[in-house]
Amino acid sequence: MPEQTIEDSQKHLFLNSAIGFLGVLLIILLFALGSRFLHPRVVAERSSVDPALVSEVIQLEVLNGCGIPGIATRFTDTLRSYGFDVVETGNFDHFNVTTSFVISRSGQLENAKRVAKAIGIAEDQILIESSPDFYLDVTLIIGSDYDTLNL
């Protein structure tokens, strides 16, 4: 039997370490896959959502137009509980908005009507400002009448 050299021992050590590492990685991946089948994801039911409000994903932004700190976040939580996808919140360009309104950005007025209905805004408070540059469907501007809306 030929004697192993130090160089051969190092090669075997490296190969054995690599095989051991890949074996551990394989066990982790198999465990993750198995747990996926044993414990499938639970989809939360939308509470108190009128199916007529949301039938497709409607992406919107909520802007604070009244200056009340945190008001956009409060409405974001409500809209998300209704199933809307709020992708952005922030401040409107001024805080003098007295009556809340909705802007249809994608040109699909039906999406803006669904958001307005969910929040309690009259359809005459929906504006259309569509452009191919907008990545959102709807913008909601919260005015100082926020306490009369569905929150």
Boundaries of every domain in the chain: 1-42, 59-148
User: pLDDT tens for residues 87-141?
Assistant: 999 999 999 999 999 999 988 899 999 999 999 999 999 999 987 777 889 999 9
Q: Residues 6 or more apart from 56 whose CB is under 8 A from it?
A: none
Q: Which fold has domain 59-148?
A: Alpha-Beta Plaits (3.30.70)
DSSP state of 106: S
Q: Give pLDDT, residue 135.
A: 83
Does the structure show a pLDDT above 70 at 52? no
Q: How confident is the model at residue 47 (pLDDT cuts 50, 70, 90)?
A: very low
Q: Which residue has the higher pLDDT, 134 or 15?
A: 15
Does the structure show a pLDDT above 50 at 55? no
Does the structure show a pLDDT above 50 at 22? yes
State how far the Cα of 100 lies from the Cα of 23, in Å rounded to an integer.
59
Phi, psi of 65 (to 5 degrees): -110, 5
State how far the Cα of 138 lies from the Cα of 60, in Å rounded to an integer.
5
Does the structure show a pLDDT above 50 at 45? no
Q: What is the mean pLDDT of residues 34-59?
A: 59
Q: How confident is the model at residue 32 (pLDDT cuts 50, 70, 90)?
A: confident
